[in-house]
Amino acid sequence: MRVRDFAAVSTLISLAACQPPIAGPAQVGGPAPATNQGGLAAVPPCPSGVTAVLTGGSAVHFKGSTEDDPAVCVQASNGKDYRYYLNFWGDGRFRHGTPEQRHALRSAVVGPIGTTVTFDLPRRSRLALWKSASVTHVANARLVVGGRVRPTVKLRIVKHDALGRPGVAAESVCWIDGVTGIPLKKEVVTRMADGDVERTTTWRVVSLHPTAS
């Protein structure tokens, strides 16, 4: 299977993986955004009562955390609920994860630029594609959402081939809002054998607002 094919499969098994204040309730209670070189002061709690409108007009409703785990956030779209750790990690069905995985992901969000963490991925069958993942805090970037500039933590996520084949990996980039923790943008990165790089945006928030009751 080619590298391009592996990236496409990764897009299907995870939502590419993979937010500054907004009006109304979503503006309340976030940690301080990242400094020039540092990470977030703390991992944002799961946002509740916030709706993100994506490119194309689809809406994703952020419904807070699950009843049994404050770090597992619930997103709803098209009538279905999806679960993500810290709002960006998982395939929409995240349950528990290992303590190692949880600690690593939090470290990437709060650590300074250049922080890289690596952890094993559970292999539910012999056909599992990926053995481990690396997450790097590559930058503190700013994105414009709804006409407002919002500081973000930019993360690079790489899943490594279960068979150890060099050059076979699934790579994505995620921009996490510094106040709400909502992913504002996600890209799948495909590196070609000839050195070319293709970047495909799979998620882009164009506006954030309180969820209508």
pLDDT tens digits, 74-127: 999 999 999 999 999 998 999 888 999 999 999 999 999 999 999 998 776 566
Question: Residue 65: which of 51, 79, 42, 44 has the closest Cα?
Answer: 44
> Which residue type sits at 81?
D
The band of 72, judged by pLDDT with boundaries at 50, 70 and 90, is very high
Answer yes or no: is pLDDT of 21 > 80. Answer: no
In this structure, the chain runs to a length of: 213
What was the pLDDT predicted at 125? 59
CA distance 174 to 149: 17
Asked whether residue 137 carries a pLDDT value surpassing 90, the answer given is yes
* Confidence (pLDDT) at 164: 80
pLDDT digits (tens, 9 = 90+) for 161-183: 888 887 778 999 999 999 999 99
pLDDT at 29: 45
Band (20; pLDDT cuts 50, 70, 90): very low
Mean pLDDT of 1-18: 36
- Residue 194: predicted pLDDT: 72
Give this prediction's pTM: 0.81
